[in-house]
Amino acid sequence: MTTTEPALPVSVADTATSNILPGSPYPLGATWDGKGTNFALYSENAAAVELCLFGEDGQETRYPLTEQTAFVWHGYLPAARPGQRYGYRVHGEYAPERGLRFNPNVVLLDPYAKALDGTERFDAGVFGYVPGEEDTVMQPEEQRGAPLGIVIDPGFNWVGDQKPGVPFHRSVIYEAHVKGLTMTHPDVPEALRGTYAGVATEPVLNYLRDLGITAIEFLPVHQHVDDPFLLDKGLTNYWGYSTLSFFAPDVRYSAAARRGDPAGAVPEFKNMVRALHDAGIEVILDVVYNHTAEGNHMGPTLSFKGIDNPTYYRLVAENPRFYFDYTGTGNSLNVRHPQTLQLIMDSLRYWVTDMHVDGFRFDLASTLARGLHEVDQLSGFFTIIHQDPVISRVKLIAEPWDVGEGGYQVGNFPVNWAEWNGIYRDDMRAFWKGEGGLASEIGYRLTGSSDLYQNDGRKPYASINFVTAHDGFTLRDSVTYEHKHNEANGEGNQDGHNHNLTWNCGVEGETDDPEINRLRRQQQRNFLATLLLGQGTPMLLGGDEIGRTQGGNNNAYCQDNPISWYDWQNVDADLLAFTRKLIALRKSHPALHRRKFFSGRTIRGEDVRDIVWLRFDGQEMSDADWNNPQTQSLGMFLDGGGLDDVDAGGQPLHDDHLLLLLSSSYVDLPFRLPELGGCRTWDLLLDTSDDAAEETLDAGQETSLRARSVKLYRCARHP
């Protein structure tokens, strides 16, 4: 193996005079103890490891780590203090045909680095092979394009921080991007826009608090890589699903990093979490443990690939030069290896214990479940999560699919896991699009998808209900476009989903037609009403409540610009008020966020059940109605005395009787209000066709349910 001298001046420390002490194999990473720093790196296949410290001028000092314990290379430097930048050079065989990709010419990022000194620099070199050649040709030139780790002071004043601890069944999740949420907010100081500090400002906190959400689910905040093919087009990986570091908050969203203090991203993130907690809002992170930014065999060598390729990645057994790719990104993490499992668990615990986050949404979680090729819900990953005393107690949400065979696993994750319910999304979109024959599916979705979750020990809140998410159309676009318009992505409009189940209400794109715009406003309210008034855990795509549009782009992953950012200058104030009202209704009525599935049984000898389904003539739906492809309307009666639950103080929960009417028919319907539960009068709480509607009707009277609309009524329960 041949190496070349690096281009920058280097001082290689002699082991006899380097002042490096043996140190400890644990914890992994760089750990400052107030006197010095312990460095520990796992590599079971390396021949030698050098710790590389860098000064402000880029000068490098190398310290060979001669201590090795259970495949962990370690040493202690009394002189290394917070702020010290560092990386590693790892020696060994460069034999891609056997899965080995060691190259000491490449300075590598510590997988356990808690802070990074910047982003990747492709011009400074990031490849273990010679670009333009086969990946079997070892790179002989110095490669310093990977960001360096920074030793941090982990101390932070968490005194007074109280995690909101909102039960899952009372949660309302808000999916947002740290940068997009605040980038154009006029009341956020310009220097803080697009940052963790910007989210922690009072205007943003007040907005989220007034909206009524209980948790914010951030798109990935782990440091990621911007792919060269995007940079060449003047674009970036805005969503961030290309993780480089599982411990470091991305410096791109740090106001401190903009001021020249990249390590300041850590306390800045902590300050944001504390501020959100003070506002009663939990923090959930979208995490990507299924793959990394290093891509396939032709991808860059930034960290894992050069430290111990066979340990961290799933390699093809017959030809370990290549990677199994269940993610569509070039590689899959090797969760079958104990060290990779430890890496993931250490990362999760760190974000809970040190950063105080309240839960995680796991991207392409089916990949993590794979044992050999099949998806196995009893895999080591889920077993260790279930047994962990820290991670098992936070909110765990799976995106229950990947791109591999058998990867669509909605409804199959273990107890204690919630799931993004893609079936809910598709059924609701199809129903409001006007497709028939969906009555039974809508019944299941409105009651927490008991067909998916009731028989495996889980509860209705295991279903994370959503009609829109970051991946796809926004709510406004879903009623404005039937076809994707992704030209700005530079891929010839070939990227993104083609099967969107959306309806443009008669015209593709924006229009001045008042009737079409009225219908679009109503359809947005229909989606929001069914989302927030049904059982399960609702997730709202951030910006949908103010009418955010992406101009028909349904794959804005690379649009770090006004296409993706909130447009705070053009807020749909009426839609925002409607959304706030819906969330308030949901939170004030326990019948709308039950902990248990409906039983359908008679309540304590009464002549009514906890839930009754009705036709528009006020009669109970029959099997024929459920199976009729023409059925496009239904009523859902919820008995306020049939909750079969208690509050936090152990007192029985009761509520008013509620009646939800919905119709996706293109004609108005006369809907007869039922005489159930002793109800004599029904008061209208909400009408998606008229924000200002008021109505009080006697049981047995008819109301006009406008075409494609939702109504919610209440009746005071008489014990």
Residues marked as catalytic: 363, 399
Tokens 């989210």 -> residue: 199
The SS3 call for residue 338 is helix
Tokens 């409804």 -> residue: 411
Q: Is 259 exposed, middle or buried (0-12, 13-18, 19+ CB in 10 A)?
A: exposed
The number of residues in the chain equals 719
Long-range contact set of residues 685-690: C-beta below 8 Å, sequence gap at least 24: 685/585, 685/712, 685/713, 685/714, 686/529, 686/581, 686/582, 686/585, 686/710, 686/711, 686/712, 687/711, 688/522, 688/525, 688/526, 688/529, 689/522
CA–CA distances in Å: residue 82 to residues 50, 51, 109, 152, 540? 20, 16, 17, 5, 40
Helix, strand, coil content of the chain in percent (nearest 5): 25, 20, 55
Interatomic CA distance for residues 100 and 139, integer angstroms: 14
CA–CA distances in Å: residue 538 to residues 152, 332, 338, 478, 532? 38, 30, 35, 18, 6
Per-position DSSP letters for 558-592, written without gaps between them: G--STTTS--TTS--HHHHHHHHHHHHHHHH-GGG
The SS3 call for residue 440 is helix
Residue 497 DSSP label: -
Interatomic CA distance for residues 436 and 439, integer angstroms: 8
Question: Rounded to 5 degrees, what are φ and ψ at 591?
Answer: -65, -20
Alpha carbons within 13 angstroms on the beta-carbon side of residue 467 total 30
Contact 129, 139 (CB under 8 A): yes
Amino acid at the residue 499? H
Interatomic CA distance for residues 648 and 30, integer angstroms: 43
The SS3 call for residue 402 is coil
Indicate the helix (H) or strand (E) that contains 265.
Answer: helix 265-278
